[in-house]
Amino acid sequence: MKFNTIPFNKPYLTGEELQYMQQSIRSGKVSGDGLFTHKCHTFFEQKFGFQKSLLTTSCTSALEMAALLLDLQPGDEVIVPSYTFVSTPNAFMLRGAKIVFADSTAFNPNLDATSLEGLITPRTRAIVPVHYAGIACDMDAIRAVASRHGLTVVEDAAQAIDSYYKGRPLGSLGELAAFSFHETKNIIAGEGGMLAINAPRFVKRAEVIWEKGTNRSAFFRGEVDKYNWVDVGSSFLPSDILAAVLWAQLEQMETIQARRQAIWKRYEAGLEPLRQQGIGLPNIPAYATNNGHIFYVVCRSLKERTALISTLKQANITPAFHYLSLHRSPFYATRHDGRPLPWADHYTDCLLRLPLYYELSDSEQQRVIDVISQFYWSQQLPLVRHQARRVAAALPVAG
């Protein structure tokens, strides 16, 4: 039987995007900081309690804004997990910082907060936890280290919209936090991002950096009578047309999140029996919530993952692995201090993400679960037979 193809991701659009884009175009102001940008900012500030929100063209640019706000000097050090997207360290590299990579935990791919003390030097300026799969890092432990050493915490919350740590929204726990609205995330604008600013000392300057180093935002509000070049900055604002797309998504956030979480829970329930066959499933600490961003499995070896990928592909299902440990990347390997980071390497080799998108149907999802189940049960068979032979050999011969 021939099945339709199940892609890894399918961007979901709510249907209101075009209408809002038209509204933005008709408003006569399609550059940044317009009507829909303001709607989005207010939404984030009210819903998640961020002190200030600034939409950006990507999470990458929000991280670059954070690096500018930190006023990093060449040789300053920033601690980043090795198991993350390139943009997390790259934003700080651009400012001449030295990246000190932290390992992941055995429990899940988030950075190991217990390793932080050992990574701190007099040059350390910031810690950048990445909430992998939207599951919170151990923020109390990270914040404690940061306050002991006077460091800034920048959350890479690219995957973490509408997820919580001890009831507090992710993105509100660092002095700064960066979100992504790339088409692979839960809430999308095609490309897009946001910087959340939670420390009063950064608020004013963030707005200037956002507007090419000028005080244009204050000028628009009538606070100054001309705008001028007052600091460094760049063009970080998205067009209001993109903010219109984002607004259409934010209006439907609860529906989108509920559907993604339902799919996530169905994967967990369907694959749970395979734990005894050796499959690893996402571990969520008691302090964290799950926002249905990524469902992953952890295979026992690279070989097993390669075989599982090929089995899924034969069934027209497209899984995706990702994040090649950055401390071993072509760009950074020669710059890294040589410490082995075994858990980052483990997830590099063994983690596999399953299709998860709004329009994934129950029957399609069941196919994914069935193919993985068959893969693990059939792998087990030779072992069972082998064990059975050993048992039989050990038994006294009847008669």
Ligand X SMILES: *Cc1c(COP(=O)(O)O)cnc(C)c1O
Distance CA 140, CA 183 (A): 31
Comparing CB distances to ligand X, the nearer of 83 and 376 is: 83
Comparing CB distances to ligand X, the nearer of 7 and 200 is: 7
Cα dihedral sign, 292-294-300-305 = positive
Comparing CB distances to ligand X, the nearer of 90 and 215 is: 90
Interface contacts to ligand X, rule CB under 6 A:
58-60, 84-85, 87-88, 130, 156, 158-159, 180, 182, 193
- In the complex, the smallest distance separating the C-beta of residue 117 from ligand X, rounded to whole angstroms, is 24
Comparing CB distances to ligand X, the nearer of 142 and 279 is: 142
- The owner of tokens 């050999």 is 393
DSSP-derived secondary structure for 139-185: HHHHHHHHHHHT-EEEEE-TT-TT-EETTEETTSSSSEEEEE-BTTS
Asked if residues 221 and 14 have their Cβ atoms less than 8 Å apart, the reply is no
- In the complex, the smallest distance separating the C-beta of residue 182 from ligand X, rounded to whole angstroms, is 4
Query: Which residue, among 388, 286, 296, has the nearest Cα to 348 in the 3D structure?
Result: 296
Comparing CB distances to ligand X, the nearer of 159 and 289 is: 159
Comparing CB distances to ligand X, the nearer of 97 and 274 is: 97
- The owner of tokens 């030295």 is 98
- In the complex, the smallest distance separating the C-beta of residue 215 from ligand X, rounded to whole angstroms, is 26
- In the complex, the smallest distance separating the C-beta of residue 158 from ligand X, rounded to whole angstroms, is 3
381: enclosing H helix or E strand = helix 362-394
- In the complex, the smallest distance separating the C-beta of residue 306 from ligand X, rounded to whole angstroms, is 24
Query: Which residue, among 186, 184, 256, 267, has the nearest Cα to 7 in the 3D structure?
Result: 184
DSSP state of 213: T
Distance CA 381, CA 265 (A): 28
Comparing CB distances to ligand X, the nearer of 186 and 214 is: 186
Distance CA 193, CA 238 (A): 9
Comparing CB distances to ligand X, the nearer of 112 and 156 is: 156
Q: What amino acid occupies position 196? A: A
- In the complex, the smallest distance separating the C-beta of residue 296 from ligand X, rounded to whole angstroms, is 13
- In the complex, the smallest distance separating the C-beta of residue 100 from ligand X, rounded to whole angstroms, is 18
DSSP state of 326: G
DSSP state of 250: H
Phi, psi of 39 (to 5 degrees): -60, -45
Phi, psi of 294 (to 5 degrees): -130, 135
**Chain length of the chain:** 399
- In the complex, the smallest distance separating the C-beta of residue 171 from ligand X, rounded to whole angstroms, is 13
